Structure formats: C-alpha cells, structure tokens
Amino acid sequence: MKTRYIFLLIVSAAAAAAFLPRDARGQNSAAGPAQGVLGVLQHGNWECALPGDAGTTAFVVLPDESFRIGTASSYSSAAGTGIYLMRGNEVVFTRGPKKDQRFRRLGDNTLQKLNPDGSPSKIICTRLGGSG
C-alpha cells in the first residue's frame, strides 16, 4: 500500500475511536486508574529522594529508586532496564525492575511515587538535567 493510504487509514481509525462511546470501544463506563492522553517523560536522569528536615539536610537521596529515562518510553536503573507508560498525569512502570511502581506527575520535571493502595508516598523524583 502507498504511504498516503496507510496514513489515511490510521487517521480514520483514530478519529472513529475518538468519537465512539466508551462502551462501543470495549471499555466499561467506570473510570480506570489512568486516563488521559499518552505521553512521555523528559529524557535524562531522575533522582528520587525523601524529605529531610530543616535542622540537617533538605532531602535524603535514594540511589536505588533513581532512574534514567531514554527514548521509546524506556528507562534504566541500577537494577536493569524496562518500559513505562504515561497516561495523563499517571506514570506506571510496566516492565523491568520497577514493574508495577506508579507515580503521579506533578510537573514536567517532578514525579511523586504512589503507594500500592494509590495514596501518595513521601518519595519525590526530580529530573536532574538533559539527556546527555
């Protein structure tokens, strides 16, 4: 098939899916945990930390929680590599050593880790810099 026909098919399918009711797309009407547009995190090193106190250090870095975001929704950490999915403001690691860990996106460069029950934890991850 020619490229333009493939492109038109993809655009038509996406438009049809966008305008169909949720039930017609094979999804129930109850809201799932992650809704919104698919996206990607900023590439680079992300450092995770717990808050400290005013009398000593401002934060306590957690090297085992830190990771690096690469291309194609991939990440790497000291324990290995994997894949993540960002939908709306929720990030979930779907493969690799951080599998099933969830985060809430607070800004372009800030994530807050969520506990298994979905409540916010005290761990905050911040992007340190560029992808280089």
State pLDDT tens for residues 98-119: 999 999 999 999 999 999 999 9
Q: Provide the pairing of β-strand 44-51 with 59-61.
A: antiparallel
Is 111 inside any structural domain? yes
CB 112 within 8 A of CB 46: no
Is 16 inside any structural domain? no
pLDDT 10s digits, 5-41: 555 556 566 655 656 555 444 444 344 455 789 999 9
Is 19 inside any structural domain? no
Is 78 inside any structural domain? yes
Per the structure, the count of domains in the chain is 1
For the full predicted model, state whether its pTM sits above 0.75: no
Q: What is the pLDDT of residue 19?
A: 63
For residue 69, give the nearest of 112, 106, 109, 118 by alpha carbon: 109
CB 88 within 8 A of CB 72: no
Range of the domain at 61: 35-127
